[in-house]
Chain A
Amino acid sequence: MARNFFTVMRSSAPSSTAARPSSSSRSTAPPPPNMKEAPAAGVGVHLDPSLEAVRHDLTEDIEMALELREVSAFYGTFQAVDKISLPIPKNRVTALIGPSGCGKSTLLRCLNRMNDLIPGARVEGEIRFEERNLIDPTVDAVEVRRRIGMVFQKPNPFPKSIYENVAFGARINGYSGDMDRLVEDALRRAALWDEVKDELDKSGLALSGGQQQRLCIARAIAVQPEIILMDEPASALDPVATLKIEDLMRELAEHYTIVVVTHNMQQAGRVSDYTAFLLAGEERVGRLVEFGPTQEIFTNPLDQRTEDYITGRYG
């Protein structure tokens, strides 16, 4: 089922009628010439809404944590994201990349109904999560957010003690077990325990930026979610702290499904297993251009625009 959804249907794409190169010849065969020639300036023109995004084959048989089907997001009358279909493989790191304003963060916030909080925001389409469409208004958004955690761009610990920061989510969700152990476990998983174990009653705001972000990750882990969404988690951090967060993401991927939005190509290359490239046209509506294993996207992009973006030619 999941694999079917994943298979590429290039033939339905009007602008790319050429036969898709087979997996074996992909590394040698050049991408279709008509795509390569698409000028950067004309991106908006070429992005026909009916255009299917390019997708690579999955190289492994894997369960899907989420399946997005034609997800569109609107802020009032402004459309931010248009008909994005995307799988999110379970226990893998999936990166969303693309230039600013292409709807990456909007798309991410759709995944745990965070956009519900913005007046006038609206989401259409379907996001399959355990046989249910989590966009459906009958689905409890609070429950969705408990099971799909989020880490934000700017570290935002509560102005409370480190302990309370981590314990809060568990407490409001009626956790009745050993709170001390839960806090310790979450902090250990977030690779923060050794640094803060002696000062758990210190304010979360007293930590450094990198530590704050790891505290936020510990806070997200403490409610034992299945998926963790990260919105440019390292963009406000220095390189050392960034490296720590990236190591952490790799470790967390063993137990959690991670979706990460990033501006940083190297970061996407380092941490992610799968990558989705989004691009907005002149009308500022974000669309999916290409999705596939990170290795493929970075070494063998099928779409000219992906290659241009990754090699830094525009964006």
Chain B
Amino acid sequence: MSAATPSAQLTAYAPRVRVRRGISVGFMVIALLAITVSILMLGALIVEIAVDGAARLFTDGGAVSVEARDGSIVSDLPTPEGMGWLSWVLPIAILLPFVGPRVVHSVAHGVVHGVPRVAERLMGLAVVAPVAVFLHILYVRFESAYFIEYAKAVDIDGATGNVLQLFGEASGFQVVRLVIMGIGLPLALLLMGWFWSHRMRKPSLLIPAILIGAWIVYLFMDPWFLSSYPSRSPSGAGIFSAVTGTFYMMTITAAIAFPLGVGAAVYLEEYARRNWFSRMIQVNISNLAGVPSIIYGLLGLQVFVRVLEFERSVLAGACTMALLVMPIIIVSAQEALRTVPPSMREAAYAVGATRWQVVRHHVLPYAFGGMLTGNILAMSRAIGETAPLIAIGALTFIAFLADSPTDDFTVMPIQIYNWVARPQAGFHEIAASAIIVLMVILLLMNAAAIIMRQRTRTDW
């Protein structure tokens, strides 16, 4: 081939193409720490299995025995509801984002990209796998500890078990295990976070902090609070219907607002001529973003609840919320579209693409991460909105789950508002708990937005 000749001559001088990131000192330190912790964890795991027997660790956490007041051991107590499957689902859910897609990807692309990246991923797996098993164990232990307290509270055969007992005084490895769990686990979570964020362009402490924070919140949380319906008594009340109502409404809101908002942004950025009409639309959108949310509520009350006869349903709430967040979605989607450099559009036009092909194949895919980020941020605003939903008449006492979009519903802020407004102190406490749950959901959504923004960013 004639073209090969000049290339062959020049190969010796060709600029070296950087194939993969060099291993930095920081990365090596992290890797060493990670390996150390892995070994510690694995060792502790072997001890656990040797002492307690594999059967107890890898079945559900039901084998709780409680020392009764007369000194006899009461075993075979009924296990807390849902503990068996949850004790595995939770650690695996934490584990999967770290290794799942990555291992699949490395198997699929390993041939092309070479071995080192596979090794890197296997190392990640080696770190998180023991962590997941330990999460499982800890979950079982803390559930059991909680269950003992529960048994004491409801006075099952005069139960007097204590938490330390569950960590196995008899085994003699208590101190070792407590140190590992007290120091090793937070450290492991920190490393997991570092490992993960190292894959992004900017390593940050955000993810480790969120992981550890979530873990601590989880440890102190009463799981029944999440899975109970509202009740007359504060001790029996939960936010199950409020949480599900919130997610139900948010899903429909996003399904309505995201396509419409992105469509409007694409029209304004890619198609509309720059004239007085498009400028007027632009100004109006900016103004709509500043309208008080109660106004949207009144609009929703008249349009969706009364004229369209949606009644006080999830659908009416979702439509109102969609109107409320649409300006935010449009503006952020426009910003995302503007980050796609004109040279990309030109490149696509230059090979004979039509305007729609340019938008469909290039502009939209490149801007999609940014649009999704804006959507999540808009949703995190909507999730905390109360006023418009009060205006359209969302209920506060819902002791069932909505089956269809036309059912009655409640959401977390309204539930909190209702509890705070009650005179009993117990309701104030569960209101505070609900606020924490809402805050955690909000933080997670914002974190997801930040992560997504980092991961989808392209250096042009």
**Interface pair A243/B351, CB less than 8 Å apart:** no
How many chain A residues have a CB neighbour from B under 8 Å? 50
* Chain A residues with CB below 8 A from B17, complex form: 206-208, 211
Minimum CB distance partner of A141 in chain B: B349
Minimum CB distance partner of A221 in chain B: B351
Q: A194-B4, A210-B15 are in contact. Are A173 and B352 (CB under 8 A)?
A: yes
- In Å, the complex CA distance between A48 and B13 comes to 49
Is B357 at the interface (CB under 8 A from chain A)? Answer: yes
Is A1 at the interface (CB under 8 A from chain B)? Answer: no
Q: A152-B343, A208-B15, A241-B15 are in contact. Are A159 and B354 (CB under 8 A)?
A: no
**Interface pair A238/B345, CB less than 8 Å apart:** no
- In Å, the complex CA distance between A305 and B274 comes to 41
CB contacts under 8 Å to A, within B335-353, are 341, 343-353
Q: A201-B112, A243-B10, A251-B3 are in contact. Are A117 and B345 (CB under 8 A)?
A: yes
**Interface pair B352/A152, CB less than 8 Å apart:** no
Residue-wise, chain A 145-175 has the 8 Å CB interface mask toward B (1 for contact) of 1110110101011110000000011001100
**Interface pair B352/A238, CB less than 8 Å apart:** no
**Interface pair A146/B351, CB less than 8 Å apart:** yes
**Interface pair B274/A119, CB less than 8 Å apart:** yes
Is A220 at the interface (CB under 8 A from chain B)? Answer: yes
**Shortest distance from the beta carbon of A77 to any chain B beta carbon, whole Å:** 16
* Chain B residues with CB below 8 A from A238, complex form: 15
Is B14 at the interface (CB under 8 A from chain A)? Answer: yes
Is B69 at the interface (CB under 8 A from chain A)? Answer: no
**Interface pair A223/B351, CB less than 8 Å apart:** yes
**Interface pair A205/B459, CB less than 8 Å apart:** yes
**Shortest distance from the beta carbon of B70 to any chain A beta carbon, whole Å:** 70
Is A58 at the interface (CB under 8 A from chain B)? Answer: no
Is B165 at the interface (CB under 8 A from chain A)? Answer: no
* Chain B residues with CB below 8 A from A173, complex form: 351-352
* Chain B residues with CB below 8 A from A157, complex form: 347
**Interface pair A194/B361, CB less than 8 Å apart:** no
Minimum CB distance partner of A251 in chain B: B3
**Shortest distance from the beta carbon of A197 to any chain B beta carbon, whole Å:** 12
**Interface pair B6/A191, CB less than 8 Å apart:** yes
Residue-wise, chain B 309-343 has the 8 Å CB interface mask toward A (1 for contact) of 00000000000000000000000000000000101
**Interface pair A169/B352, CB less than 8 Å apart:** yes
Is B117 at the interface (CB under 8 A from chain A)? Answer: no
**Interface pair A158/B7, CB less than 8 Å apart:** no
Contacting B352 at CB < 8 Å: which of A143, A194, A198? A143
Is B404 at the interface (CB under 8 A from chain A)? Answer: no
Is B455 at the interface (CB under 8 A from chain A)? Answer: no
* Chain A residues with CB below 8 A from B349, complex form: 114, 117, 145
* Chain A residues with CB below 8 A from B10, complex form: 240, 243-244
* Chain A residues with CB below 8 A from B274, complex form: 119
Residue-wise, chain A 182-221 has the 8 Å CB interface mask toward B (1 for contact) of 0000001101001100110110011111110000100110
Q: A158-B344, A194-B7, A211-B17 are in contact. Are A223 and B352 (CB under 8 A)?
A: yes
Is B458 at the interface (CB under 8 A from chain A)? Answer: yes
- In Å, the complex CA distance between A172 and B360 comes to 11
- In Å, the complex CA distance between A20 and B112 comes to 64
Contacting B366 at CB < 8 Å: which of A159, A207, A248? A159
Query: Total A-B residue pairs with C-beta atoms closer than 8 Å?
Result: 110
**Interface pair A172/B351, CB less than 8 Å apart:** yes
Is A45 at the interface (CB under 8 A from chain B)? Answer: no
* Chain B residues with CB below 8 A from A216, complex form: 347
How many chain B residues have a CB neighbour from A under 8 Å? 36
Minimum CB distance partner of A223 in chain B: B351
**Interface pair B350/A247, CB less than 8 Å apart:** no
**Shortest distance from the beta carbon of A199 to any chain B beta carbon, whole Å:** 6
* Chain B residues with CB below 8 A from A220, complex form: 350-351
- In Å, the complex CA distance between A150 and B19 comes to 29
Is A262 at the interface (CB under 8 A from chain B)? Answer: no
Is B121 at the interface (CB under 8 A from chain A)? Answer: no
Minimum CB distance partner of B5 in chain A: A247
Q: A172-B357, A208-B15, A244-B6 are in contact. Are A152 and B347 (CB under 8 A)?
A: yes
Contacting B354 at CB < 8 Å: which of A114, A119, A142, A208? A142
* Chain B residues with CB below 8 A from A117, complex form: 345-346, 349
Is A85 at the interface (CB under 8 A from chain B)? Answer: no
**Shortest distance from the beta carbon of A252 to any chain B beta carbon, whole Å:** 10
* Chain B residues with CB below 8 A from A191, complex form: 3-4, 6-7
Minimum CB distance partner of A209 in chain B: B15
* Chain B residues with CB below 8 A from A199, complex form: 112
* Chain A residues with CB below 8 A from B460, complex form: 156, 159, 205
Contacting B347 at CB < 8 Å: which of A158, A202, A206? A158
- In Å, the complex CA distance between A183 and B10 comes to 24
**Interface pair A154/B343, CB less than 8 Å apart:** yes
Q: A149-B351, A173-B352 are in contact. Are A156 and B1 (CB under 8 A)?
A: no
Is A112 at the interface (CB under 8 A from chain B)? Answer: yes
Is B279 at the interface (CB under 8 A from chain A)? Answer: no
Contacting B353 at CB < 8 Å: which of A142, A195, A210? A142
**Shortest distance from the beta carbon of A37 to any chain B beta carbon, whole Å:** 43
**Interface pair A189/B344, CB less than 8 Å apart:** no
Contacting A240 at CB < 8 Å: which of B4, B15, B273, B346? B15
**Interface pair B366/A251, CB less than 8 Å apart:** no
- In Å, the complex CA distance between A168 and B13 comes to 31
- In Å, the complex CA distance between A169 and B353 comes to 7
Residue-wise, chain A 225-250 has the 8 Å CB interface mask toward B (1 for contact) of 00000000000001011011001100
Residue-wise, chain A 106-142 has the 8 Å CB interface mask toward B (1 for contact) of 0000001010010100000000000000000000001
Residue-wise, chain B 361-396 has the 8 Å CB interface mask toward A (1 for contact) of 110001000000000000000000000000000000
**Interface pair B347/A248, CB less than 8 Å apart:** no
- In Å, the complex CA distance between A241 and B17 comes to 13
Q: Which chain B residues have a beta carbon within 8 Å of chain A's beta carbons?
A: 1-4, 6-7, 10, 13-15, 17, 19, 109, 112, 273-274, 341, 343-354, 357, 361-362, 366, 458-460
Q: A152-B346, A172-B357, A201-B109 are in contact. List 12 more A-B contacts (CB 8 A).
A: A114-B346, A117-B346, A145-B351, A149-B351, A150-B350, A152-B347, A172-B353, A191-B4, A201-B112, A205-B458, A206-B17, A240-B14
Closest 3 CB pairs between A and B? A146-B352, A169-B351, A191-B3
Q: Which chain A residues have a beta carbon within 8 Å of chain B's beta carbons?
A: 112, 114, 117, 119, 142-143, 145-147, 149-150, 152, 154, 156-159, 168-169, 172-173, 188-189, 191, 194-195, 198-199, 201-202, 205-211, 216, 219-220, 222-223, 238, 240-241, 243-244, 247-248, 251
25 of the cross-chain contacts (CB-CB < 8 Å) are A112-B350, A114-B349, A117-B349, A142-B354, A145-B351, A149-B350, A150-B346, A150-B350, A152-B350, A156-B460, A157-B347, A158-B362, A159-B460, A168-B348, A169-B352, A172-B352, A172-B361, A191-B6, A199-B112, A201-B109, A208-B14, A219-B351, A238-B15, A240-B10, A248-B3
